[in-house]
């Protein structure tokens, strides 16, 4: 049962609870973002409990097994707060929520196979909160949501049981997370955060708490929906710009222009923001965020044609990678069918272990449909099964058995591979979709080379 004593709408109560470290925190959803968030709350001295439906994850965390090996700096914090018992995990949301003052939701907001945003985790937790949230608690939603989701859905769902009334005995706000996987600790302690509450007073309460925990610039928003609009705008800006430069790079290829040289020079102009072309845009953020805004537009009867086009371009890029590959095979006079092709990198972005919506999946499927034998090497997944293929664990052993290699992800490790290693392939063909190979060095080693967007290669 709850023994809440802190009124999360009262400035003095919160201030005192932070000072005396008596504010009790519950983070629901302790994945890529939620776990580091929980750990920083615990590091600030606040008793923090993490809730997750993933029993294995909860068990591992409570046994001191740290899950996010690709996030530098966080494991030390994990070890400290587990040792000093400031943090633990549970699958029992009822106990954790009812014994907390602050509930932070870091639940997944993916999309379904028709690109429709899926808010089922938030919806189901909101329904639970309506039964179990203690009066005078504060709920902060960090998940990425469409503008208006708090105002139009979360509040009415949490109020459903009739026990809780917004602005009277429960309070809600958002603080959309904008950290980059692989750099989460750095971003948590450096990047400004957006704070939007159900009213200005709640915004100030959230600011006080996040200032205590993160000490970063906290940007006050007029309401929840504006904060969520900013979060989506910044990410969709990237999705569209990557589409723009990817589309342009296809024409530069035909014109005999190297897009990397264009970008190197273009970035010297003070107001040019560099984005790179590539095999496609994946991950749990950019593609979904574009579809979230498209979903909002549909509801509002508005057309967002630029986002639509951007998505189409980014989703077609894997086709172009396959086309470059088949062109290179034609040049080598070797059939594509039955060839052995190595995919270098399955993560959707460099230096992280994450394959969510990775363009590598589409490239692999398309190549398999063309009758090729696809192999995978990715230093983040040695010997694991990814997209139905067992990942190789030794690059030097596998390369000489390959006809071609395709760099899909620009992991730092791949930048260190010598061109002479690629030259040892049977054919040898090298496709670089990320602009990390110098085309002239490939030529010198007599490697048949195709660089995405690199017209003079
Ligand atoms: N990963 C990123 O790069 C990133 C960056 C910024 C913002 N975000 C946003 O943060 C949110 C969380 O993303 P993430 O990458 O941490 O997701 P994640 O999938 O890594 O973690 C989500 C966790 O929630 C758990 N979960 C699912 N349903 C649950 C439920 N009903 N009750 C309790 N736990 C439940 C899952 O088991 C998982 O451990 C999303 O809205 C995402 O868009 C992600």
The Cα–Cα gap between 231 and 238 comes to: 12
Question: What is the rounded average pLDDT of the residues 183-205?
Answer: 97
Q: Distance from CA of residue 290 to its chain's centroid?
A: 13
Indicate if the pLDDT at residue 436 is higher than 80.
yes
Are the beta carbons of 397 and 390 closer than 8 angstroms?
no
pLDDT of residue 427: 87
pLDDT band at residue 242 under the 50/70/90 scheme: very high
4: pLDDT strictly greater than 90 = no
Residue 1's pLDDT is: 39
- Taking 70 as the threshold, does the pLDDT of residue 352 lie above it? yes
Q: What is the pLDDT of residues 396-416, one digit of tens each?
A: 999 999 999 999 999 999 999
Q: Output the pLDDT for position 359.
A: 98
- The radius of gyration of the chain from alpha carbons, rounded to an integer in Å, stands at 24
Q: How far is the CA of 279 from the centre of ligand 1 (A)?
A: 25
Which among 138, 125, 136 has a CA at the least distance from the CA of 163? 136
| Tokens coding 273 | 């923001």
Mean pLDDT of 15-36: 97
Does residue 247 surpass a pLDDT of 50?
yes
Instruction: Name the 3-class secondary structure at 373.
Output: strand
Query: What's the gap between Cα 328 and its chain centre?
Result: 33
Q: Relative to the CA of 145, which ligand 1 atom is closest?
A: 41
- Taking all residues of the chain, what is their mean pLDDT, rounded to a whole number? 96
Task: Give the confidence band of 448 by pLDDT, cuts at 50, 70, 90.
Answer: very high
For range 205-228, the mean pLDDT: 98
**Which atom of ligand 1 is the closest one to the Cα of 57?**
39
Give 109 Cα–ligand 1 centroid separation in angstroms. 7
If one counts every other C-beta atom within 10 angstroms of the C-beta of residue 165, the result is 12
Q: Using the mean position of ligand 1's atoms as its centre, give its distance from the Cα of residue 57 in Å.
A: 13
- Indicate the pTM of the whole model: 0.95
The burial class, CB within 10 Å (0-12 / 13-18 / 19+), for 280 is buried
Q: Is 3 a residue whose pLDDT tops 60?
A: no
Distances 168 to 102, 131, 135, 198, 231 between C-alpha atoms, Å: 16, 16, 9, 12, 28
Work out the end-to-end distance of the chain between its first and last CA atoms, rounded to an integer number of angstroms. 68
Mutate to test the pocket of ligand 1, among 28, 34, 235, 293 (most ligand atoms within 8 A of CB): 34
Residue 2 reports pLDDT greater than 60: no
Report the percent of the chain where pLDDT is more than 70: 99
What average pLDDT score do residues 382-396 get?
A: 97
Protein residue with least CA distance to atom 43, ligand 1 = 144
Instruction: Encode 405-427: b = buried (16+ Cβ within 10 Å), e = exposed.
Output: bbbbbbbebbeebebebbeebeb
pLDDT of residue 73: 94
456 has pLDDT over 80: no
* Residue 416 CA to ligand 1 centre (angstroms): 33
Q: Exposed e or buried b for every residue in 232-271, given b needs 16+ CB within 10 A?
A: beebbebbbebbbbbbbbbebbeeebbbbebbeeeeeeee
With a Cβ cut-off of 6 Å, ligand 1 is lined by 28-34, 51-54, 57, 106-109, 121, 124-125, 143-144, 177-179, 181, 284-285
Q: Give the pLDDT mean for 64-84.
A: 95
Q: What is the pLDDT of residues 103-135, one digit of tens each?
A: 999 999 999 999 999 999 999 999 999 999 999
Q: How many Å apart are CA 64 and CA 4, to the nearest integer?
A: 29
Mean pLDDT of 284-290: 97
């Amino acid at each position: 049962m709850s023994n809440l004593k802190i009124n999360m709408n009262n400035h003095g109560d919160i201030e005192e609870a932070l000072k005396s470290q008596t504010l009790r925190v519950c983070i629901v959803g302790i994945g890529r973002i939620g776990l580091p968030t929980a750990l920083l709350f615990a590091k600030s001295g606040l008793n923090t409990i993490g809730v997750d439906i993933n029993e294995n994850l909860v068990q591992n965390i409570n046994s001191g097994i740290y899950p996010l090996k690709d996030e530098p700096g966080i494991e030390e914090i994990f070890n400290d707060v587990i040792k000093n018992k400031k943090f633990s995990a549970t699958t029992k949301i009822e106990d954790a929520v009812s014994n907390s003052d602050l509930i932070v939701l870091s639940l997944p907001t993916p999309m379904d196979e028709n690109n429709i945003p899926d808010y089922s985790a938030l919806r189901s937790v909101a329904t639970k909160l309506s039964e179990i949230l203690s009066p005078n608690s504060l709920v902060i939603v960090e998940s990425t949501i469409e503008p208006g989701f708090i105002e139009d859905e979360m509040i009415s769902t949490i109020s459903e049981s009739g026990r809780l009334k917004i602005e009277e005995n429960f309070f809600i706000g958002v603080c959309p997370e904008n950290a980059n996987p692989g750099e989460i600790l750095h971003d948590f302690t450096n990047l400004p955060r957006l704070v939007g509450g159900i009213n200005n007073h709640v915004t100030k309460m959230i600011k006080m708490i996040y200032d205590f925990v993160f000490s970063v610039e906290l940007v006050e928003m007029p309401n929840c929906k504006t904060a969520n609009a900013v979060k989506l705008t910044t990410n969709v800006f990237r999705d569209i710009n990557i589409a723009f430069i990817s589309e342009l790079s296809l024409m530069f290829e035909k014109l005999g222009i190297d897009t990397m040289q264009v970008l190197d020079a273009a970035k010297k102009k003070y107001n040019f923001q560099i984005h790179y072309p590539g095999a496609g845009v994946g991950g749990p953020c950019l593609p979904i965020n574009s579809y979230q805004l498209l979903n909002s537009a549909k509801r509002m009867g508005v057309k967002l044609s630029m986002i639509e086009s951007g998505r189409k371009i980014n989703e077609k890029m894997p086709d172009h990678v396959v086309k470059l590959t088949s062109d290179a095979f034609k040049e080598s006079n070797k059939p594509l069918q039955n060839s052995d092709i190595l995919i270098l990198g399955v993560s959707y972005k460099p230096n992280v272990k994450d394959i969510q919506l990775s363009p590598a999946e589409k490239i692999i499927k398309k190549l398999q449909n063309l009758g090729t034998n696809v192999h995978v090497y990715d230093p983040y997944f040695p010997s694991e099964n990814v997209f139905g293929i067992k990942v190789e664990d030794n690059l030097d052993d596998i390369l000489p058995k390959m006809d071609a290699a395709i760099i899909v992800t620009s992991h730092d490790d791949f930048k260190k591979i010598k061109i002479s290693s690629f030259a040892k392939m049977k054919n040898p063909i090298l496709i670089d979709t990320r602009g990390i190979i110098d085309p002239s060095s490939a030529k010198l080693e007599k490697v048949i080379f195709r660089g995405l967007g690199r017209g003079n290669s």
